[in-house]
Amino acid sequence: MSEHHLGWLYYKDLFNGHVLNPISVSNHNILDQWINFNGGANESEAVESLKKRISDFFLQSSLPERSLMVNANAGLHLKTTYPGLVIGSGYNHEAGIQSELKLGFYFDPTYGSPVIPGSTIKGILRSGFPVEIGKSDSDPVKKAKTEANKRKAEYIHQFLTKNGVTRPAKTEYSPQEKEELSYALRDCIFENLNTSENLVTNKRDAKSFRKSSERFVFYDAIIEKSDKNIFSDDYITPHLHKSEPRLNPFAEPVPLRFLRIVPEVVFNFQFKLHTIDVLGNSIDDKTILNLFSEIIQYLGVGAKTRLGYGYMLPINEEGSNRPIFEFIDARNPIATIAEINEFKGKIEKGAKLNAKIVDTVSKKVEINIKGKSIELVCSGLPRCAEIGVFVKCEITAITKNKEISAIKYTGPAGT
């Protein structure tokens, strides 16, 4: 079984000593044992030999075939882009062994091949629609969600209009009507509500939902049969200072090895879709599929999307650029809070404000002061910071004219 089931191999055999035989994993310094076993081979040769043995199993394994879903009536073929895809990183896969693959990975429990679970796909797609604002949300979070909802609603309305979905008697939609349309479409797709009346009145009873044969279904995305190596390894290098967290950016990096799916691997996303009526708009399954495709391409799939992992393109397109969406990051609306809350307080030392990183080399950030944007050097900005990310800063110096002359980094926006 383990010869063909990659999940079993990754989570069981690797730690049972089958893959690393004759090395015992009971001793945490597995590299020393490997050196001794090779009769005193130098360390670099031992590392390469160990990596090759793991690679022979994980990085060059043939892909088990898996049948397509017989009930699916719509599908997307999207390919991974550089640097690849990481899925299932939250699963535990660490035993203190040198050169081990530190992060978990998701494999189909039956077939053993890597898949993107249907529940993950459904969650990604749903996050592209407006979300309810909780009563317990803080004011900054409420503002961020409200702004994000407006932009999502605007995008969805533009997408439907572009695809010829318009209400005959309606030529103009107010912002509130656009949000209602987006919420209604969301509930039709993800809650399987069957009438527009239920969407408006928020009524829920046994007759509110479509019968099972008419519901939307989100299947696992599977890899198209590939004759090439679909796996590779990669490293993350966190900077962590043991005693002084504020010195993290200056600490020595600790390389952590993990498994990833390489670029140019094609996934088949499968769905069971239906034509639906949403507030007088008839939306067919093809339009819904195209909307799904754009949301997946924009938001990405899996872990480390902020580092570029998980973004996908149609198989006939080149490059790695995401489509341009007109709404705030659906997964983390609080990250754009600086764009919403311009600084209107008193300009004085110690005052807190939000800023947007515009240059990581010169450590420049952009701040919004009473409607006017200015750029300043931000001291203490982490070396791993990314352009476009919003951060929280503190004013450290002002001029005689009460203008900000210096600021320092204090943490991520929203903290």
Per-residue confidence (pLDDT) for residue 158, from 0 to 100: 85
Show Cβ contacts of residue 73 under 8 Å, excluding neighbours closer than 6 positions: 271, 272, 273, 285
User: Under a CB-based contact definition with an 8 Å cutoff, are residues 32 and 99 in contact?
Assistant: no
Cβ–Cβ under 8 Å, residues 87 and 108: no
d(CA 233, CA 45): 18
| Long-range CB contacts (within 8 A, 24+) of 47-50 | 47/99, 50/20, 50/99
Alpha carbons 229 and 105: distance in angstroms, whole number:
17
Closest Cα partner for 199 from 216, 187, 210?
Answer: 187
Helix-strand-coil split of the chain, %, nearest 5? 30, 20, 45
Average pLDDT, stretch 396-401? 90
For the chain, where do the domains classified as CATH 2.40.50.140 start and end? 342-412
Do residues 209 and 193 lie in contact, with contact meaning Cβ atoms separated by under 8 Å? Answer: yes
Tell me the pairing of strands 115-116 and 364-369: unpaired
Q: How far apart are CA 10 and CA 397, in angstroms?
A: 54
> What is the tens place of the pLDDT at every residue in 291-341?
999 999 988 999 888 888 999 999 876 654 444 343 334 444 444 443 445
Percent of the chain surpassing pLDDT 90? 16
More confident: 349 or 20: 349
Look up tokens 């990833």; give the residue. 260
170-206 pLDDT per residue, tens: 557 788 888 888 888 998 899 888 755 545 455 555 5
115 or 138, greater pLDDT = 115
Cβ atoms 234, 260 nearer than 8 A: yes
Of 321, 313, 320, the closest CA to residue 266 belongs to 313
Tokens of 290: 């195209």
**In this model, does residue 407 exceed pLDDT 60?**
yes
Higher pLDDT, 15 or 372: 372
The single residue listed with the structure tokens 């077939």 is 111
Q: Is the dihedral of CA 271, 280, 282, 205 positive or negative?
A: positive
Mean pLDDT, range 121-147, rounded to an integer:
83
Torsion sign (Cα): 386, 390, 391, 396? positive
> Tokens 């609603």 sit at which residue?
153
Task: Indicate whether this model's pTM tops 0.75.
Answer: no
List Cα–Cα distances, 231 to 140, 211, 226, 292, in angstroms: 41, 41, 11, 26
Read off the pLDDT band of 207 (50, 70, 90).
low
Decide: 257 and 55 in contact? Cβ < 8 Å: no
pLDDT at position 101: 75
CATH of domain 342-412: 2.40.50.140
- Structure confidence by residue, pLDDT tens digits, 77-112: 999 988 899 998 888 777 666 566 778 889 988 888
Of 328, 326, 353, nearest in space to 341 by CA: 353
Q: Are 245 and 263 in contact (CB under 8 A)?
A: no
